[in-house]
Amino acid sequence: MIVQEMTERVVLLDASGTPVGSDLKSTVHTADTPLHLAFSCHVVNAAGEVLVTRRSLGKKTWPGVWTNSFCGHPGPDEASADSVVRRAAHELGLDLHTLDLVLPDFRYRAVDASGIVENEICPVYVARVDTEPAPNPHEVMDVAWVDPLALGEAVALTPWAFSPWLVLQAEQLELLGGNPARSAPR
């Protein structure tokens, strides 16, 4: 697994979102992270609850922070939907039943307390599952199924307790009570 992380590549993008190359994931996230392609996924169960995860303390950025179900980066020549399925299995041991692209143009830039920058065009998906997660401890230290509207309210009231991308996504996702018509992509 660590070898995979050291050789995993991310797709670099120009300002318009056009791929311009790739670089190692292990070296691209710095204080001057170039724009690159990612994705974010919110997992929903049969009861309508959404899965939130707490990032492992070993994560390079935002360790120990509560966030959406999982995130990742498509590799060069890998379809985004395929990368979502791959990361669901890797991070949470989940087999996704449905996968819907809900925020295709989501984009953000955020700086971690350590000074490391996330700078991503990050399409957002919602997936459905009927099994329980089996978290990979290198990725996730805790999980919880929560009411989506309660999560949206918690994010709005205490944004400092969540990842910056979840805070921005909650403003735009109907699932979490956000209003996409009022929120411009970032």
User: Which positions are annotated as active-site residues?
Assistant: 71, 120
* Best CA proximity match to 8, nearest among 42, 40, 43, 36: 36
Strands 9-13 and 19-24: antiparallel
**Residue 90 annotated as binding site:** no
**Residue 174 annotated as binding site:** no
Strands 117-121 and 36-37: parallel
**Residue 171 annotated as binding site:** no
**Residue 118 annotated as binding site:** yes
Residue 129 CB coordination number (10 Å): 19
- Sorted by sequence, the CB contacts under 8 Å of residue 146 that are 6+ apart come out as 49, 50, 52
DSSP secondary structure code for residue 112 in this structure = -
**Residue 120 annotated as binding site:** yes
**Residue 42 annotated as binding site:** no
Annotated binding site for Mn(2+): 29, 36, 73, 118, 120
Residues belonging to the binding site for Mg(2+) are: 91
Pick out the residues of the known binding site: 29, 36, 73, 91, 118, 120
